[in-house]
Amino acid sequence: MFLQLADPMVAEICAGAGFELVVIDTEHGPSGITDVISQLQAIAAGDTDGAVRAADHNPASIKRVLDAGRPRSSCRWSTNQSRRRR
């Protein structure tokens, strides 16, 4: 389940709905890092695993996601070969 709303209540509902994984999509949604942390806390209350899709390939953005306590994360699609090597 991809979650694009920046609302921890929606994240909690999704976590309790039986999905195996809820991905907070910061690439296509409005979630900032404080929203991500709140949503991850709401997901952790359920029986679902949470992940975060980083908004860009900026190492600082990815580190913020990792610092929020989410070792499972992904980056947006890249067609640039030099970016994929990083």
- Residue count of the chain, please give it: 86
Instruction: Note the pTM of the prediction, 2 decimals.
Output: 0.80
Can you give the pLDDT at residue 25? 92
Number of domains composing the chain = 1
Can you give the pLDDT at residue 54? 86
In a domain, residue 64? The reply is yes
Q: Is beta strand 2-3 parallel, antiparallel or unpaired with respect to 49-53?
A: unpaired
Given the residues 28, 72, 83, 84, the one annotated as active site? 28
The residue range of the domain holding 27 is 2-78
Active site residue 28: yes
In a domain, residue 55? The reply is yes
Q: How far apart are CA 24 and CA 52, in angstroms?
A: 5
In a domain, residue 54? The reply is yes
Q: Determine if residue 83 is left, alpha or beta; phi over 0 gives left, psi from -120 to 50 gives alpha, anything else beta.
A: alpha
More confident site: 51 or 72:
51
In a domain, residue 85? The reply is no
In a domain, residue 84? The reply is no
Alpha-carbon distance values, 76 to 18, 47, 53, 57 (Å):
26, 26, 7, 7
In a domain, residue 36? The reply is yes
Q: How far apart are CA 38 and CA 17, in angstroms?
A: 18
